[in-house]
Amino acid sequence: MPTLTLAKAITAGLRRSLDSDDRVLLLGEDIGALGGVFRVTDGLQRDFGADRVMDMPLAESGIIGTAIGLAMAGYRPVCEIQFDGFIYPAFDQIVSQLAKMHYRTGGTVRMPITIRVPYGGGIGAVEHHSESPEAYFAHTAGLRVVTCSNPQDAHTMIQQSIACDDPVMFFEPKRRYWTKGEVADVADPPGLGRARIVLPGIDVTVVTYGPLVATALEAAAAASADGVSIEVIDLRSLSPIDFDTVTDSVRRTGRLVITHEAQQSGGLGAEIAAVVTERCFDALRAAPVRVTGFDIPYPAASVEEHFLPDLDRLLDGVDRVLDRANSLSGWTA
């Protein structure tokens, strides 16, 4: 069982998909000779040729729009958007064309397109390189939105995404690209839409995804030393959301904290809090709490550590649902 970084686990998954299905094409900027700015496509053009691993002109709408036509011609394009903040020029093609083509055509035209997006902060980057735009896409009917938190899931989920006949937004937590882990060929992996309990616990359910799964696990370890047992759920899929796994957990713990890097308003945390409140209000022993990025543009790198939820802010949220002393104790607006 090889140990790979998360980035190389995706590379290996892409290689597997390219190998097993001639219809798979990779499209993107700088993905050929360079191997992508994060080297996720390293060596793939050399091994599969420029006809299948294609450097595209520098236009995101053009890449997605062209992929739609290629999919209509029977291909399964995998598009790389270089950074999260560069996806917006392609927004119309993704939201109004890609997401709706199967619906518009009464199911006759399938869109087996995967869009890989390195996302999230914590790498000290300039503006537009640290964003978490997943909620825009989770809000859009017709798209599947997934994100991985570890090398094993990265390897499995990229292959599942490529094999899926629906368009999949595949969000890659770029600050975890260098996280190492064992990667095996799992015979019967969880489905693409399934959440996973990463750490079982008793007192509080922490729901998260992507880059903050590692943070939640660190927080759980710290809380454990303090006698608090946290259950950590890695959502893995943001559309659909596996609410059964979340509500089952909250029915056991009675307490919910949701954490993501993305801004709070209208984010995934709001949806999760609402659904949990609707479906297991009776089981809640405290109001759900969100620990998220603030409702500001992603700030400059020198202060990003204050924007990003970290171990301490997450535990402060845990203290709130446990009604223990916390930063808002005695706080009035």
Partner 1 sequence: MSTIVTRPHRSDDLSDAERDFVQLVTPDGQRRPHPVFDPFLADVTPALIADLYEDLLVVRRIDAEATALQRQGELGLWPPVLGQEAAQVGSAHALRSDDFAFTSYRESAVAYCRGVKVADLLRIWRGTSHGAWDPYEVKIAVPAIVIGVQTLHATGYALGCQKKGSDTVAITYFGDGATSQGDVNEAMVFAASFRAPVVFFCQNNQWAISEPVGLQSHTRLSDRAPGFGIPSLRIDGNDVLAVLAATRMALDRARGGGGPTFIEAVTYRMGPHTTSDDPTRYRDKAELETWARRDPIDRIAAHLDSLGELTDALRARVTATCDAVAADLRAACLALDPPHPLTMFDNVYAHPHSGIDRQRSQFAAYLAMFEQPGTSPEAGA
Residues labelled as active-site residues:
129
Measured between alpha carbons, how far is 35 from 24 in angstroms, rounded to an integer?
17
- Piece of 35-43, 106-114, 260-268, 322-330 that binds partner 1 (CB under 8 A): 106-114
Print the binding letters for residues 196-235 with partner 1: x by CB under 8 A, - otherwise.
Answer: ----------------------------------------
Which residues of the chain form beta strands (DSSP E)? 3-5, 24-28, 53-55, 76-80, 114-119, 144-147, 168-173, 180-182, 196-199, 204-208, 230-234, 237-239, 256-263, 289-293
**For partner 1, which is the closer residue by CB, 76 or 174?**
76
Measured between alpha carbons, how far is 79 from 55 in angstroms, rounded to an integer?
10
Measured between alpha carbons, how far is 86 from 129 in angstroms, rounded to an integer?
8
> Out of 21, 128, 190, 193, which residue is the one contacting partner 1 (CB under 8 A)?
193
Q: How far is the CB of 219 from partner 1 (least distance, A)?
A: 28
**For partner 1, which is the closer residue by CB, 70 or 262?**
70
* Of 317, 45, 37, 56, the residue nearest 204 (C-alpha): 317
- Quote the distance between the C-alpha of residue 81 and its chain's center: 14
Pairing of strands 237-239, 144-147: antiparallel
**For partner 1, which is the closer residue by CB, 72 or 300?**
72
Asked if residues 129 and 217 have their Cβ atoms less than 8 Å apart, the reply is no
> Out of 82, 93, 253, 259, which residue is the one contacting partner 1 (CB under 8 A)?
93
Name every residue whose Cβ is closer than 8 Å to that of residue 141 and which is 6 or more positions away in sequence: 99, 100, 103
> Out of 96, 265, 327, 329, which residue is the one contacting partner 1 (CB under 8 A)?
96
Q: How far is the CB of 221 from partner 1 (least distance, A)?
A: 31
Q: Does 102 bind partner 1 (CB under 8 A)?
A: yes
**For partner 1, which is the closer residue by CB, 104 or 180?**
104
**For partner 1, which is the closer residue by CB, 110 or 251?**
110
Binding residues for partner 1, rule CB under 8 A, total 46
Q: Does 144 bind partner 1 (CB under 8 A)?
A: yes
Q: How many CB atoms lie within 10 A of CB 56?
A: 19
Q: Does 109 bind partner 1 (CB under 8 A)?
A: yes
Q: Which of residues 245-304 bind partner 1 (CB under 8 A)?
A: none
- Piece of 1-9, 161-169, 283-291, 294-302 that binds partner 1 (CB under 8 A): 161-169
Instruction: Give the end-to-end CA distance of the chain in Å, rounded to a whole number.
Output: 54
Q: Does 89 bind partner 1 (CB under 8 A)?
A: yes
**For partner 1, which is the closer residue by CB, 89 or 190?**
89
Q: Does 148 bind partner 1 (CB under 8 A)?
A: no
Q: Does 104 bind partner 1 (CB under 8 A)?
A: yes
* For helices 311-321 and 212-225, angle between their N-to-C axes, nearest 10 degrees: 60
> Out of 9, 241, 258, 268, which residue is the one contacting partner 1 (CB under 8 A)?
241
Measured between alpha carbons, how far is 251 from 279 in angstroms, rounded to an integer?
10
* Of 108, 13, 26, the residue nearest 70 (C-alpha): 26
Tokens standing for residue 78: 């995998």
Binding residues for partner 1 (CB under 8 A): 51, 56-57, 59, 61-62, 64-75, 89, 92-93, 96-97, 100, 102-110, 141-142, 144, 164-166, 193, 239-244
